């Protein structure tokens, strides 16, 4: 199997400067001689900015939001990059896309080993942010969407800071910091001017539950950048469990429902005791749905858990106690 395609998701409300930052990332990847792929999403039937990337391997997803009405189109497009891999894939959602829905498309059994999500970069328009938060000048839908885009980010770019006062900037930062964990950086910028090494830093890891967390051997006061070694719990978006034993359905469902609330979604392929068939499952809002896999498949049982600030050790211990010890 080829090396997984490195993926960066760009998110942000309408007019926040996503395309400007996307172009900066494209230029940097070309300097590094990396083979590049781009997925651009627009709500309408025309993308007026596609000419900016006409020399790249680009796919346009039009007439719908990448996170909902055109999920199937997204999966078909991702398959294009499975068949013809690139080094880096950049996905720019519409201004009203929830990045977590794109993460879910990547974190499926068919794609999780093919793509490696490295960062979700969310842009915030400093010049309009406070107005968007006001109940007098915006809708509940806009406020909810902005919150989703901020809380799902592994890097936040507070853009257009040149258009606001220092006092207003302090107020914006205070509001954003209430929504994020301490290890999600907020970078201030004007015109999307952010250093390339900041944009392209690996901030998300998809872990196999069988992996042991690595440490650098430094003291507890170590402040070095060891993001490639330390397990960043706040940044983990998906945990993959392979080599699943045959399980009892009731025990499996009970275990899922008792997982921490930070586990937002679960999906995969499972086999139940006293049944030779395989079943696909979806778990959300503490509810489990299963469907029998029809026909023949080469897919082996696998489980993928998706969420924010996941405690890997807690989930590992619970999984081993519930399934591995019972199967011995």
Domain boundaries defined on the chain = 5-199, 235-327
Please check whether residue 297 is in contact with residue 311, taking contact to mean a CB–CB distance below 8 angstroms. no
Identify the CATH number of the domain defined by range 235-327: 3.30.1220.10
Give the pLDDT band (50/70/90) at residue 266.
Answer: confident
Q: What tens digit of pLDDT does each residue of 93-113 get?
A: 866 677 887 888 888 888 999
> Do the domains spanning 5-199 and 235-327 agree at the CATH topology level?
no
Identify the CATH number of the domain defined by range 5-199: 3.40.50.300
DSSP state string for 208-251: ETTSPPP-----TT--S--TTTS--TTT--EEEEESPPPB-HHH
Token pair for 192: 């999307």
Rounded-to-integer distance, Cα 322 and Cα 116, Å: 29
Closest CA to 275 of 298, 309, 252: 252
Q: What tens digit of pLDDT does each residue of 135-151 get?
A: 887 788 888 888 989 99
Q: How many CA atoms lie within 13 A of 123 on its CB side?
A: 32
pLDDT at 126 over 90: yes
The whole model's pTM is what?
A: 0.76
């Amino acid at each position: 199997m080829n090396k997984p395609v490195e993926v960066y998701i760009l998110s942000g409300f309408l007019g926040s400067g996503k395309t400007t930052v996307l172009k900066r990332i494209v230029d940097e990847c070309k300097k590094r001689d990396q083979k590049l792929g781009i997925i651009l999403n627009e709500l309408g039937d025309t993308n007026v900015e596609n000419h900016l990337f006409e020399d790249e391997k680009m796919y346009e997803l039009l007439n719908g939001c990448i996170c909902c009405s055109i999920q199937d189109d997204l999966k078909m497009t991702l398959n294009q990059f499975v068949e013809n891999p690139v080094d880096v894939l950049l996905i720019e959602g519409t201004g009203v896309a929830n990045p977590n829905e794109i993460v879910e498309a990547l974190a499926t059994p068919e794609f999780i080993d093919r793509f490696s999500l490295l960062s979700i970069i969310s842009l915030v328009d400093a010049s309009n942010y406070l107005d968007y938060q006001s109940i007098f000048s915006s809708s509940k839908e806009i406020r909810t969407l902005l919150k989703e885009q901020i809380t799902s980010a592994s890097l936040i770019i507070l853009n257009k800071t040149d258009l606001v006062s220092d006092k207003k900037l302090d107020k914006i930062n205070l509001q954003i910091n209430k929504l994020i964990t301490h290890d999600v950086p907020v970078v201030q910028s004007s015109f999307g001017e952010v250093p390339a090494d900041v944009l392209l830093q690996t901030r998300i890891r998809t872990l196999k539950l069988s992996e042991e967390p690595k440490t650098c051997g430094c003291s507890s006061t170590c402040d070095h950048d060891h993001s490639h070694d330390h397990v960043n719990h706040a940044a983990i978006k998906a945990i993959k469990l392979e080599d699943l034993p045959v399980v009892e359905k009731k025990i499996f469902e009970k275990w899922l429902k008792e997982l921490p609330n930070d586990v937002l979604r679960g999906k995969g392929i499972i086999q139940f005791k006293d049944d030779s068939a395989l079943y696909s499952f979806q778990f959300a809002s503490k509810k489990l749905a299963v469907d029998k896999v029809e026909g023949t498949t080469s897919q082996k049982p696998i489980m993928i858990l998706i969420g924010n600030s996941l405690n890997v050790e807690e989930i590992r211990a619970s999984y081993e106690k519930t399934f591995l010890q019972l199967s011995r």
